[in-house]
Amino acid sequence: MNVIELHNITKTFGKHVAVDDLSLAVPRGSIYGFIGPNGSGKTTTLRMIMRIYFPDRGAIRVLGEESHGAAHDRIGYLPEERGLYKKMKVREILRFYAELKGRRDFYQAADAWLERLSLTEWANKKVETLSKGMAQKVQFISAVIADPELVILDEPFSGLDPVNMEVLRECVLDLRKKGSTVIFSTHDMAVAERMCDFIFMIYQGRKVLDGTLDSIQNQYGQDTIRVRLAERDGDLTVLPGVEKITDFGTLQELRITPETDTQDVLESLMRLGRVTHFELARPSLQDIFIRIAGPEAEKAAALSRKLEAAHA
Amino acid sequence: MRKMLVVAVREYQAAVRTKAFIVSLVAMPILMGGGIIAQVLLKDKVDLTDRKIAVVDHTGVLYDAVAAAAKKRDAERIFEATASGEKKQVQPRFVVEEVDTAGRNEDQLGFDLSEQVRKGGLFAFAIIPVNALEPPNKETEPSGAVKTVIDYHTNTPTYFDLPRWLDSVVNGEVRRVRLEKAGVNPQVVATASTPVPLETWGLVKKDASGKITKAQETNRAASFVAPAGLMMLMLMVVMVGASPLVQIVLEEKMQRIAEVLLGSIPPFQLMMGKLLGTVGVSLTISTVYLVGGFAAVSYAGFAPYFPTHLLWWFMVYQALAVLMYGSVFISVGAAVSDLKESQSLLTPVMVLIMAPVFVWGNVMQAPTATFAVVCSLFPPATPMLMLLRQAIPPGVPAWQPALGIVLVLLTTTLFVFAAGRVFRVGILMQGKGAKFGEMLRWAIRG
């Protein structure tokens, strides 16, 4: 059963189309990753799911309801723009959010969460005394304190140090284990690859990717070679059938055309230096993201727009 | 409803549990009554330096009366008996001296005396004209001609006691001399001029048994203070209670708390929660002041004049006023992006709130006139002006407050509804604030 169903939704702000004819289904119990460049429509989509914004066209069903209330007690929401009442104490804030969601017996849950996120001794301190990372953890707890069936997290890991990021990552995985469905948006492709059952990418308001990591990578095939060369003598651009080279310093990623024989590439590489690593791979999510939304794609899109205009 | 109450309780606690709230609760009456308290405290801080005045008496007969009056004043009026029975000087002495003109012309004399004032030897000097004792004659003194006046010269024109005293002394003597010249006994005139005092009473009524009861004497101070006090209290509570909403909403918007809240509660309920919390805060403030006011009035023995019968009206009007104005304050807070921007939008709102203060004098003078009735039925002014009229004896016909409440309810609903729409759009907008026209568009289109 799907927890969220978006049917052809469109949202415009003035002349700007923020979300364009978008459809999406999020199955219960999954972790769904939303990716896309800044300003592509992620936050607008999440706000429409939360019914903070209403779509101009299309229908939204959340937890089986086409409810018109702007919020839902069974949904936990951590927005991208975060803020807490500075003068309130941590426990008071958690009580406030629990009560807003209709939870009266919040104490046990609050204590458990505070302990898990190492905030117990801050429970009775005012928010203004917390560090940024701590405040972010408090904000996370306030989103999940009422045991929501659906958790929507907009950039939950941004600004966290690696230790806290790891703690929060485990918390998110645990939420799924307990039966919650989790949607989160992120700019960290490695996190999305590791954590998400499904990945959805939106670009310029339109859906450009939607599926499991496997299915997305399969669309692109094994067109990537990762190589390490010792004592390199010469330029990799001379290699046959190579479309694009991404240099990571000690490691290079080559994108090859479909008709290229990888053996020919290996042979050419051996002439250039001592090959210490040669791996046939599917493109990473990062690579796919850049192929869709990077400068190359921008240029291609601009060119096609120009051609269309010329033909018209 | 539950969520609205959760928000209302939080708003109420956030406002009432701060030190700033307690301080402002105490500070407000001190500020308002500060003038009176300062006067009482500073009563003894009077400059008792002798005020020396030189008198040029061209009539040649008035100076003696002035000198005698100064002596009498110094002996009788500048002292007060202290608790221990000692005499304590509370006003400065007026020391008068006669000037010998010594053949100097008017200009030279004026200059010489002015120099003395400049050097501090004199506080002031006065010139009594030669014809001061002659009654004014319209034929010899046509308009435009120089009038007969006493010239009082000083370098301290803000000190009024001395010229006032001199004026009264010289004119008293002038009147006495003129009456004597006319062959009238001044004593007879004084007796004949004694006024008959006027007392203000209410209307004569019949009691339940049909017996006619005596009218009650109207206490002028009380019948003025009670209505004006209630109106001012409401104005103050609306200002203190509701106007912080601009800042509260603006902070939530700028500190991005708004979106977190909107993840849990619809915008309209969020706004209503805030409004209800603010109504609670304002009722707390007014309850404190009304209880305090009643205690003070009872202590002073004026308890019967306390408008107890209007307290429910006061609370209802005040709750509606806070809802009405609070919704406007909330819309402004949601629409702008900093406090500075809010100022220009708030100016017309403030004028609207203050409007009753501009007309309350006219309304008090003629509380039943059409002007007063119309003003008090103009919804933004109804809470203050209708209450004011109800507090002035004998009150207003029952239909007027009833109609007033209905109109205010309709206006409040409209304001709250429009504010809800502005709030929903404005609260998530970042960057430049909205102009009035934009707010109006949001309110109409939704």
B336-375 residue pLDDT tens: 888 888 888 888 888 888 888 888 888 888 888 889 899 9
Q: Tell me which DSSP letter residue A178 carries.
A: T
Residue A304 C-alpha from the chain's centroid: 28
**Is residue B316's pLDDT more than 50?**
yes
Minimum distance, in Å, between the CA of residue B429 and any CA atom of chain A? 11
Among A41-50, A167-176, A234-243, which is the least confidently predicted range? A234-243
Q: What residue type is B85 in one-letter code?
A: G
Helix, strand, coil proportions of chain B in percent (round to 5)? Answer: 65, 5, 30
pLDDT in tens, B169-210: 999 999 999 898 888 888 888 888 888 988 877 778 888 888
Minimum distance, in Å, between the CA of residue B14 and any CA atom of chain A? 8
Higher pLDDT residue, B91 or B224?
B91
Confidence of residue B116 (pLDDT cuts 50, 70, 90): very high
pLDDT in tens, B243-252: 888 888 888 8
Touching check for B14 and chain A: CB below 8 Å? yes
pLDDT in tens, A95-115: 999 888 888 788 888 899 999
To the nearest 10 degrees (0 to 180), the angle between helices B382-391 and B311-335 is: 160
Q: Give the mean pLDDT of A74-82.
A: 83
Q: Give the mean pLDDT of B4-12.
A: 90
Q: Give the mean pLDDT of B151-167.
A: 92
**Is residue A296's pLDDT more than 80?**
no
Classify residue A262 as left (phi > 0), alpha (psi -120 to 50) or beta.
Answer: alpha
Q: What is the C-alpha to C-alpha distance for residues B343 and B332, in angstroms, rounded to an integer?
A: 9
Show Cβ contacts of residue A251 under 8 Å, excluding neighbours closer than 6 positions.
A226, A227, A228, A277
B14, B257, B266: residue with CB nearest A71:
B266
Backbone angles phi, psi at A89, to 5 degrees: -80, 155
Q: What is the C-alpha to C-alpha distance for residues A201 and A187, in angstroms, rounded to an integer?
A: 11
Q: What are residue A140's DSSP bridge partners? A: none
Contacts of A78 in chain B (CB under 8 A): 260, 263
**Is residue B431's pLDDT more than 70?**
no
Q: What is the C-alpha to C-alpha distance for residues B389 and A130, in angstroms, rounded to an integer?
A: 54
B3, B256, B267: residue with CB nearest A100:
B3
**Is residue A245's pLDDT more than 80?**
yes
Residue B142 pLDDT: 55
pLDDT in tens, B66-102: 999 999 998 887 888 777 777 888 889 999 999 887 7
Touching check for B427 and chain A: CB below 8 Å? no
**Strand pairing category for A252-256 and A242-247:** antiparallel
Q: Which residues of A touch B (CB under 8 A)?
A: 47, 50-52, 69-71, 73, 75-79, 81-88, 96-97, 99-102, 139, 142-143, 152
Residue A181 pLDDT: 93
> If you search the block for the tokens 């010489």, which residue do you land on?
B112
Q: Which two tokens stand for residue B376?
A: 């008090």
Q: What is chain A's mean pLDDT, rounded?
A: 86
Q: What is the C-alpha to C-alpha distance for residues A290 and A302, in angstroms, rounded to an integer?
A: 16
Q: Tell me which DSSP letter residue A210 carries.
A: E
**Is residue B221's pLDDT more than 80?**
no
Touching check for B16 and chain A: CB below 8 Å? no
Show Cβ contacts of residue A177 under 8 Å, excluding neighbours closer than 6 positions.
none
Number of H helices, E strands in chain A: 10, 13
Residue A70 pLDDT: 46
**Mutate which: B1, B12, B253, B264, vs A, most A CBs within 10 A:** B264
Instruction: Report the residue of chain A nearest B269, measured CA to CA.
Output: A70
Question: Percent of chain A at pLDDT above 90?
Answer: 22
Among A250-254, A299-303, B65-69, B142-146, which is the least confidently predicted range? B142-146
CB-CB contact of B333 with B434 (8 Å): no
Contacts of B261 in chain A (CB under 8 A): 100
**Is residue B379's pLDDT more than 70?**
yes
pLDDT in tens, A184-198: 998 888 888 889 999
Max distance between CA atoms of chain A, in angstroms, equals 72
Higher pLDDT residue, A264 or B85?
A264
Touching check for B367 and chain A: CB below 8 Å? no
The reply to whether residue A70 touches residue B257, judged by beta carbons under 8 angstroms, is: no
Minimum distance, in Å, between the CA of residue A76 and any CA atom of chain B? 8
The reply to whether residue A52 touches residue B259, judged by beta carbons under 8 angstroms, is: yes
Higher pLDDT residue, B317 or B33?
B317
Within the 232-261 window of chain B, which residues sit less than 8 Å (CB to CB) from chain A? 252, 255-261
Minimum distance, in Å, between the CA of residue A173 and any CA atom of chain B? 22
Sign, CA dihedral A207-A208-A212-A215, equals: positive
Confidence of residue B277 (pLDDT cuts 50, 70, 90): very high
Q: What is the C-alpha to C-alpha distance for residues B166 and B193, in angstroms, rounded to an integer?
A: 22
Residue A69 pLDDT: 54
Instruction: Report the residue of chain B nearest A99, measured CA to CA.
Output: B6
Helix, strand, coil proportions of chain A in percent (round to 5)? Answer: 40, 30, 35
**Is residue A67's pLDDT more than 80?**
no
B10, B14, B263: residue with CB nearest A50:
B263
How many beta-carbon pairs below 8 A join chains A and B?
65
Q: What is the C-alpha to C-alpha distance for residues B51 and B62, in angstroms, rounded to an integer?
A: 20
To the nearest 10 degrees (0 to 180), the angle between helices A213-220 and A285-293 is: 60
Burial class of residue B91 in the structure, from the number of CB atoms within 10 Å of its CB (0-12 exposed, 13-18 middle, 19+ buried)? middle
Q: What is chain B's mean pLDDT, rounded?
A: 85
Q: What are residue A154's DSSP bridge partners? A: A185
Q: Tell me which DSSP letter residue A312 carries.
A: -
Residue B242 pLDDT: 83
